[in-house]
Chains A and B, each alone.
Chain A
């Protein structure tokens, strides 16, 4: 299938800038207020990430300008799940985040992706919620983490959207979100952290899958979220947290042979429960049929 190529081929990345309201999530009130985030640093790190994607990996970068009204809009991963030429516009858990989807919808439409609205299903009700950070696509199948932000109904909509693939639900134990505890580290490699909860989730994934994945375990919880891209240059790139943030995990990444490792800092977004992959949507516009 056009859709069935190995994981990691991307041509475009969509990102959204860090607004000055960064860290001041509406409705979260004082909770995040206590977390001191460094806006300038966050923006610098954002710049580094986008620079790496564009210049090192060689993706075409589409940057949606920040919107101060939407303090969490930089977590662009949450608002769409894109596979092949289909983009599922999600329905985030928080009411105030749901307007974040509009800008993203415009962009993916312009990229000629087939847009599927989760809100459209059942008139937006039915209680379906889904956020991209609970979705792990492996190239062969989807795993949807059932978390505080993503429910079964949301997973069903996703399954209905991407019908070619098995969509399995797994409990998210180790962290708030599925993508916090695991990510793809190659076409058949899952990077996962060492926590008990993550292991439990991994076991479930292993039980549910028909495929065999290599598993790369990293000691630090936050290290498990990486971005793997096989860029236009056909090289394997892995964006991962740098040694300053995850000193013990770097050696694990070095086991990946012939990879170009791109340490990318993400400390500020991380303070808000996000991670590297939260900041971008990856798209492959070059479908190859066979």
Chain B
């Protein structure tokens, strides 16, 4: 501790507030004492949480209890646990037998299998079991196994559930290997049709990966006929395979698998899950008229894939509904329905029905659709519907989405595991002597132990699941204690869903559109940790995070509308469409977008190839460019020269229906009054169109009168003191005009406090040192938003941005910076909106130093409202490297017609925040003021 504080103070810039230090000094020593009593706070932490979170928590808890029986055994020692034997057919055709408790959930089995396979990138996989009709069903990991297997032996199969559209983006070779095994089976079984030429190519890579280089002496001349490449394998095929195989000398198995996947992924049926169905009602101009037959009752196949729903008749694709086109999917009895967004030339949405063979099939299809949509389109899973009196299924995909799993797997730091490519029995029955494949069971080393808290080998102390701040601060203890700690922390939810928020505020309705971010990362702070300038990644994360929050918000607020057995995707899909449209009109942002093309960004939802979407101009909310140089020295003072970065955040704005509001380019100039350098950041922002549903408009208009809104958003952290932060002045002014006939004023104060603590059991290393930095985030607001979810997305967005910002050590430049934003405007609207955003931020040192965004442990949001004020408190806990961090953000939105003394309000808010969380410090304050003025009024 002492070491840490020493580091703290030294690292801090002299002129930087002593108060902060004092506060810190006060806070730190106390934390050790607090620690024991804080432990229960683990529970407290989750109490206000939302259902989703609780549910997950429950799952995890129960899961933990089954995997870590040691700590729990006293509780259940009494009862006899029934153990069931499961037989799982693995992808190489071998059977894996294991025991699980009868009451265990699917996740337990899944995790055990993955552990056995040494597989970290698990989210693409799943377990199937055959039902009485011999149909494959996916096990729901969140449900008990015994409820999913009504009859028969516990036989399962391990399969790929979500085929990654671009397998090269998988992190580990071992994951690709399993994907290859699945695809080989798909090919051989005929589920994945391919041409002769493709069979030869795929076959040749299979041979190379399984047998290595062509070697007639060792392999013999007929080696190839032992392997299966195609449903109807001919001698000719084998010869061609061999011909190609000869040319691959020196190719490693991993390379061969990569080639295999690169070819396989282009097949049109790659990753398409087919379901038999019949058309209900009329349809398809391209179908019926040409045949001159009634389309009713025509046998078709529905194919669910990453991009949407495909409709085949025989082998012909007769229609396709991309996820964004689909407003809603539902099933009723043995019918499956999709509601389609009206096209350009249609006025009304249409519903298309399909008749499935039976109810189970309809439900199965519906589930697969829900899962695929969530996995590939959303950034984080939907919350399950909160229905009290409803008939509908509560089923939702609860695993990680592709975006989340990619983020998690980018943190895998283990050395590539050694594994043996089994001469799979499936291809070679005669060689069954080989026995089961040998999978080395390496210890799992996924850094940050990711969100999937499942049965992972937890190296004590490596992973910090923080429950409370105080606890964290104090973790240099004996191993034993650590052990205990771990045990205690086990139940800690590792939320897979990042930030979530429910906000209802008037301001929200009116705000959001544009976000600009400026991050400054001047000199790095002195920490003992090596700081890696992984700038790119940081940016990537940042963007992802931002998007995350949006999607989450959307998902959150897009609560279940229907009473029917349906999953409601209206809102988020609606948003998708809107955003897409928006972005199509913002070609200017193209450049920036493509620069970061690898960062999967897509508004409201993420598709598997968001990067593609980006280049398609389809979606991109935010782009940040960062370039930074960091110099770290070990020890105390670090002086680092640092570079600017130009975060470009083309946000989106919305105006009246089908109206392009304006296109603007903004030049943001930043003068840093402090040390380092002046920078210039150019931000291009565009505010394109959004369509707004009529009812929304009505609603908004109904709410009528001019408003003033003030919002603040506070989050907290340890080291900085709020009062000092206020010394900073940053200003951004924007002018915007909207069509809205309303007047609005909104002010948002944002406070960011941050706590960083570290569990360093290894040594006395670093601890969070706080610095002040100047980072500014500005969010401009204009127009009204179709629904509140939209608005609520915004603060979240900012919050996350802030997180990221701080993740990179910022130079302590005292809280003085001035940002001026000038926004060009276009005239046309009736109403002017003036937005001011002021950000006060103290930089803190991220001890972690790297830009790793960490793994989110939990997030919760609490909202309280009064007539004119809405306070949203958002608490997130993350683990970065060895540091856990708790951050509380408060957002206060004040809406009203009357003039409010904003300074006073701000001061009051900060004061309250400090009082509420004495052990934390304010690191950031953002004041966002939005005023709408009628042109006659002029600006104020």
Give chain A nearest CB distance to B327 CB in angstroms: 16
A1 in contact with B286 given A164-B195, A169-B318, A289-B201 (CB within 8 Å) = no
Interface flag for A155 (CB, 8 Å) = yes
Q: Would you call B195 and A156 a contact (CB within 8 A)?
A: no
Instruction: Name the interface size band of chain A.
Output: 35 or more
Interface flag for B263 (CB, 8 Å) = yes
Tell me the complex Cα distance, A167–B9, Å: 68
Chain B residues closer than 8 Å to A169, beta-carbon distance: 286-287, 290, 316-318
Question: Which chain B residue lies CB-closest to A200?
Answer: B285
- Ordered by A's residue number, 25 sampled pairs between the chains whose C-beta atoms are within 8 Å are A1-B266, A4-B263, A84-B195, A86-B195, A86-B197, A152-B290, A156-B315, A156-B316, A161-B195, A162-B195, A164-B195, A165-B268, A166-B317, A167-B268, A167-B315, A167-B316, A168-B316, A169-B286, A171-B290, A203-B344, A207-B319, A209-B320, A290-B259, A290-B262, A290-B263
Q: Would you call A207 and B314 a contact (CB within 8 A)?
A: no
Interface flag for B23 (CB, 8 Å) = no
Tell me the complex Cα distance, A166–B267, Å: 8
Chain A residues closer than 8 Å to B313, beta-carbon distance: 152
Closest 7 CB pairs of A and B: A159-B315, A166-B268, A146-B290, A163-B193, A168-B317, A171-B286, A4-B266
Question: Which chain A residue lies CB-closest to B314?
Answer: A156
Q: Would you call A164 and B268 a contact (CB within 8 A)?
A: yes
Interface flag for B25 (CB, 8 Å) = no
Interface residues of B in 259-306 (CB under 8 A from A): 259, 262-263, 266-268, 285-287, 289-291
Q: Would you call A204 and B197 a contact (CB within 8 A)?
A: no
Instruction: Name the interface size band of chain B.
Output: 20 to 34
Known: A1-B263, A208-B319. 17 other contacts (CB 8 A): A2-B197, A2-B198, A3-B197, A84-B197, A86-B195, A86-B196, A86-B197, A144-B316, A146-B290, A159-B314, A161-B195, A164-B198, A165-B268, A167-B315, A203-B343, A209-B320, A210-B307
Interface residues of A in 50-97 (CB under 8 A from B): 84-86
Interface flag for B194 (CB, 8 Å) = yes
Chain B residues closer than 8 Å to A144, beta-carbon distance: 316
Interface flag for B479 (CB, 8 Å) = no
Question: Which chain B residue lies CB-closest to A289?
Answer: B201
Question: Which chain B residue lies CB-closest to A167?
Answer: B316
- Tell me the B residues contacting A by CB distance below 8 Å: 193-198, 201, 244, 259, 262-263, 266-268, 285-287, 289-291, 307, 313-320, 343-344, 612, 616
Interface flag for A225 (CB, 8 Å) = no
Give chain A nearest CB distance to B492 CB in angstroms: 42
Give chain B nearest CB distance to A228 CB in angstroms: 21
Tell me the complex Cα distance, A156–B193, Å: 14
Interface flag for A191 (CB, 8 Å) = no
Of B201, B244, B316, B320, the contact of A207 (CB 8 Å cutoff): B320
Chain A residues closer than 8 Å to B268, beta-carbon distance: 141, 164-167
Give chain A nearest CB distance to B208 CB in angstroms: 12
Tell me the complex Cα distance, A149–B685, Å: 52
Chain A residues closer than 8 Å to B344, beta-carbon distance: 203
Tell me the complex Cα distance, A266–B198, Å: 38
- Which of A114, A151, A212, A287 is the most central at the interface, judged by chain B CB atoms within 10 Å of its CB? A212
Chain B residues closer than 8 Å to A161, beta-carbon distance: 195
Interface flag for A170 (CB, 8 Å) = yes
Chain A residues closer than 8 Å to B316, beta-carbon distance: 144, 152, 155-156, 159, 167-169
- Which of B196, B198, B262, B315 is the most central at the interface, judged by chain A CB atoms within 10 Å of its CB? B315
A1 in contact with B291 given A152-B316, A207-B319 (CB within 8 Å) = no
Tell me the complex Cα distance, A14–B936, Å: 73
Q: Would you call B286 and A163 a contact (CB within 8 A)?
A: no
Question: Which chain A residue lies CB-closest to B317?
Answer: A168
Chain A residues closer than 8 Å to B195, beta-carbon distance: 3, 84, 86, 161-164
Give chain B nearest CB distance to A21 CB in angstroms: 32
Interface flag for A160 (CB, 8 Å) = yes
Give chain B nearest CB distance to A281 CB in angstroms: 19
